[in-house]
A and B are shown apart, each in its own frame.
Chain A
Amino acid sequence: MTFELSHFNAALLFALCASVVFGITQRSTPRAMLRYGAYCFALFVGGVIVAAWAMWLIKH
């Protein structure tokens, strides 16, 4: 079985899994875990989008 994920989908899946682990391990209460996990996910995805636009601008 092989998977053909696009770069963006691979980045989304990576961000989701890493954010879950970061949220659970770096905070103590469930509410804080959820907030921190969402924050990490937003930073991961936001970073991908910013880097993608930066590369597009460099190319053009």
Chain B
Amino acid sequence: MANQQNTAAVQRNARNAKAAQQSSSMATIAPIAGWLLPGLGHFIQRRWVRGLLLMAAIFTMFFFGLAMQGKVYSFNTGDLLDMLGFVGDLGAGVLYFVARMMNWGIGNIHRAVADYGTKYIVVAGLLNIIAAVDAHHIAIGKKS
């Protein structure tokens, strides 16, 4: 009898340890995936609707920003606002790298709406960072 209880306890501990390990790896993977592709951190945790809405909102902001001829910042060590703009843009993950590779986001200083576009692109990156942190909170169980 005591032997059976010990075996059950060992199995239960092994299951708990495995679940904790999965949770720990998800806590690392989810924010990275969410940063790389907006919404992916929620998708891999089966939060389909939330992921889709986050993806739609961030993609919309980023591509409307490009369509308004906003500027995509490259790495720089010049003006402080330019450096912060780069950090914000980088938050968009793959979207940023694709935009840089395709040479999108040259910017147009002659159009007022292009300045709105630049802000759209930076804010899309910042919102994506918030979404990635949210994916991390779901993974560690801080949020349902």
Report A's interface with B, CB cutoff 8 A.
1-5, 7, 10, 13-14, 16-18, 20-22, 24-25, 28-29
Contacts and interface: CB of A to CB of B under 8 A. Distances in A.
B54 A20 contact: yes
What DSSP secondary structure best describes chain B's contact surface?
helix
A2 B114 CA distance: 10
Interface of B: 50, 53-54, 56-58, 60-61, 64, 67-69, 112-113, 116, 119-120, 123-124, 127, 130-131, 133-134, 143-144
Given A20-B54, A28-B143, A5 B60 contact: no
Contacts of B60: 13, 17
Given A5-B113, A24-B134, A25-B134, A18 B123 contact: yes
25 contacts: A1-B67, A5-B116, A7-B112, A7-B116, A13-B64, A14-B61, A14-B116, A14-B119, A14-B123, A17-B57, A17-B58, A17-B61, A17-B124, A17-B127, A18-B57, A20-B54, A20-B56, A21-B130, A21-B131, A22-B130, A25-B130, A25-B133, A25-B134, A28-B144, A29-B144
Contacts of A17: 57-58, 60-61, 124, 127
Nearest to B117: A3
Contacts of A10: 68, 113, 116, 120
A25 to B, nearest CB: 4
Given A5-B68, A17-B58, A24 B50 contact: yes
